Amino acid sequence: MHPRSFLKNSFTKLMNTSAAPLYRIFKIKRRFLPDARIPILTYHKITDIDFGVDAFWNVPPSLFARHMACLAAEGFKVLALHELYDCISMKAEIPRDSVVLTFDDGYANVFRYAYPVLKEYGFPATIFLTGDYSGGKNLYWWDREVAERRPDLYEDVRVLNWDEIKEMQSSKLITFGSHSMSHQHLGQLPRPRIEYELRQSRAYLEKRLNQPVRFFAYPGGIRAYGDISEETDLLLVESGYQLACTSETGRNSLRDNLYALKRIGMGRNDSPSLFRAKLIGGYDWVKWPQRAFHGMFKNPW
């Protein structure tokens, strides 16, 4: 096992062990110290696949259903991303015990496994689509290895087709944002290429969806890996986006930069106890070991 995978898995096991007491501590803390920060959760594949370079982030369908059941049982209000945008842009109060759901990369397994659960609970979500992959048969490079090794898993690694996208769009529960045109580390690219990745993906998706695309999620989403830079910040504004999500760990308040919103990644080992702890602040401190981890491993893969 690669050292980075070993560290990730070991850390998650440690977090799961401490999740229950963390949850209880932060639950008590919230009774006496109101906390208006809101988590934006990030999912990728909803699948049982347990191998491949991104397997850590594959959430089994049964576990995803348990996560959503936790939200309902705990009384969390699931906001659409545009509702959070309205709160922050207008400095309006963020509803207590609220959360935002997002999915990166636009996988078809989100339609197969997550969408029915979201409909059951009436939970809105945003899916960030990559222009060069959306609606087609292209696989991301990290998924080609999986499909070659196990052709029977093609359905679990393919991207959404336009019929699936349109069906979710018509539900009004699911909105779509841009995840760039080709899923590269934007901050490492020359300015003309960054402009292309931002503007072309937005124009392409708006034409196919026949509605404005206002929100963006950085591929990778980590400043230390060259995904984010001052130039990308500027060009997001110039390209007409109103909000951007990163993969930097944490929750968000009214004071946060709309173009650098933090999110909390959800993985295959996130037990319901750890999920609950992540929702109420028991995971916020992880930003410090995350930064150390990024310093140790300069390559995100």
The reported pLDDT for the residue numbered 22 is 73
**Residue 4 predicted with pLDDT over 70:** no
Residue-averaged pLDDT of the chain: 91
The reported pLDDT for the residue numbered 44 is 98
The reported pLDDT for the residue numbered 210 is 97
Lowest mean pLDDT among 94-103, 131-140, 290-299: 290-299
Best CA proximity match to 43, nearest among 94, 98, 113: 113
Say what the alpha-carbon torsion angle 15, 46, 218, 189 is, to the nearest 10 degrees: 110
Cα–Cα distance for residue pair 21/129, rounded to 1 Å: 37
Environment class of residue 91 by beta-carbon count within 10 Å: exposed (0-12), middle (13-18) or buried (19+)? Answer: exposed
Q: How many CB atoms lie within 10 A of CB 46?
A: 26
**Residue 3 predicted with pLDDT over 70:** no
Banded pLDDT at 24 (limits 50, 70, 90): confident
Cα–Cα distance for residue pair 214/274, rounded to 1 Å: 32
147-191 tens-digit pLDDT: 999 999 999 999 999 999 999 999 999 999 999 999 999 999 999
DSSP state of 77: E
Cα–Cα distance for residue pair 124/146, rounded to 1 Å: 30
* Alpha helices in the chain, H assignment, sequence order: 3-32, 61-73, 81-89, 108-109, 115-121, 141-149, 154-157, 162-170, 191-209, 230-238, 272-279, 287-296
For the chain, give the number of residues: 301
Mean pLDDT of 274-300: 76
219-235 tens-digit pLDDT: 999 998 899 999 999 99
Banded pLDDT at 35 (limits 50, 70, 90): confident
Question: What DSSP element (H or E) covers 125?
Answer: strand 125-129
Cα–Cα distance for residue pair 88/49, rounded to 1 Å: 37
Q: pTM (2 decimals)?
A: 0.92
Mean pLDDT of 20-48: 82
236-246 tens-digit pLDDT: 999 999 999 99
| CATH 3.40.50.300 is right for the domain spanning 37-296 | no
Phi, psi at residue 90, to the nearest 5°? -100, 5
Cα–Cα distance for residue pair 41/156, rounded to 1 Å: 21
Cα–Cα distance for residue pair 195/236, rounded to 1 Å: 8
Q: What interhelical angle do 61-73 and 272-279 show, nearest 10?
A: 50
Cα–Cα distance for residue pair 103/9, rounded to 1 Å: 22
Cα–Cα distance for residue pair 277/70, rounded to 1 Å: 11
